[in-house]
Amino acid sequence: MKYNENDIKKIEEILKVKPKIKTPEFNSEFYFNKQNEPTFLPEKTFYFEDFIKIAASFIFVFIIIFLFYQQKFNFETTLWQSQNLTSVKSKDIIGVVLFIKGKVDLISEDKNQDVYQGTTITENSTIKTYDKSTIEIVLDKRIQIRIKENTTITLTKSENLWKIFQEQGISYHNVKSLKPKENYYVETPSAIAGVRGTFFYVNNNSDKTEIEVHKGNVIIYTKELESGYIQLKNKGSLTPNNLFLFDKKIKKIEKKVAKKSDLDVLFKEMEQNLSIIENEELWENLSKIPTTTNKKDIEKVYNKRVEKIHLVDGRILEGVIASQVGNKIILHTTTGIFIVNIDDVKEITFE
Domain range annotation of the chain: 142-277
Residue with the larger pLDDT of the pair 72 and 351? 351
**Nearest of 133, 242, 122, 143 to residue 186 by alpha carbon:** 143
Read off the pLDDT of residues 134-181 as tens digits, 9 standing for 90 and up. 999 999 888 999 999 999 999 999 888 999 999 999 999 999 888 888
| 328-333 vs 242-247, strand pairing mode | unpaired
Q: What is the pLDDT of residue 29?
A: 57
pLDDT exceeds 90 at position 125? yes
Residue with the larger pLDDT of the pair 261 and 32? 261
Read off the pLDDT of residues 320-330 as tens digits, 9 standing for 90 and up. 999 988 889 99
Name the fold adopted by 142-277. Answer: Jelly Rolls (2.60.120)
| Mean pLDDT of the 226-231 span | 52
pLDDT exceeds 80 at position 264? yes
pLDDT exceeds 60 at position 293? yes
The amino acid occupying position 177 is S
pLDDT exceeds 50 at position 40? no
Burial of 209 (0-12, 13-18, 19+ CB in 10 A): buried
| Mean pLDDT of the 95-107 span | 94
Q: Report the alpha-carbon distance of residue 91 to residue 287 in Å, rounded.
A: 10
Q: Is the pTM of this model over 0.75?
A: no
Q: What is the mean pLDDT of the chain?
A: 80
pLDDT exceeds 80 at position 97? yes
φ and ψ at residue 103, rounded to 5 degrees: -90, 125
| Mean pLDDT of the 269-291 span | 85
